[in-house]
Amino acid sequence: MKKLLFLMLFTCLGLGMQAQGLNAKYVQMKKVYNFQEEFNEYRVNSFLKHKLEEAGYTVFYDDQELPQEVKADPCKLLKCNVERDKSMLATKLQITLVNCKSQTVFTANGESRLKKRDKSHVDALKNALEYSVLNKK
């Protein structure tokens, strides 16, 4: 019984420490990720921007000018990266948020088995963010 209680305590502490890294106010996204050929291909950019704004972040793309608050304190900015893993039968995406010290503060993996690429990428993002800390904010 003590072991179970001890394990639950460390799990809660670990989740709390992970959430502390998400205190930033701004998120910077790439305009085109390395698996895309053009802006908002497969609707990845617009969907992810919408979800991050729902979570309470101010989101802008890497070609836009940084707000004065970020210029004064770069640690108020998280950089968002989305990578696609190679898979023959599924679309697998990994979302990472990196802070000013180049530490990964958030990672979510999602997978979709839908056939159409424009639907499978959004479905994989939904699956990645469904039970994440970002939805709890």
What domains, with CATH codes, occur in the chain? 2-136 (3.30.160)
Read off the pTM. Answer: 0.79
Range of weakest confidence among 7-11, 22-26, 28-32, 69-73: 7-11
Q: 72: left (phi > 0), else alpha (psi -120 to 50), else beta? A: alpha
Please list the residues that pair with 27 across neighbouring strands.
59, 78
Please list the residues that pair with 132 across neighbouring strands.
none
Of the candidates 119, 93, 118, 115, which has an alpha carbon nearest to the alpha carbon of residue 41? 118
pLDDT in tens, 40-97: 999 999 999 999 999 999 999 999 999 999 999 999 999 999 999 988 899 999 999 9
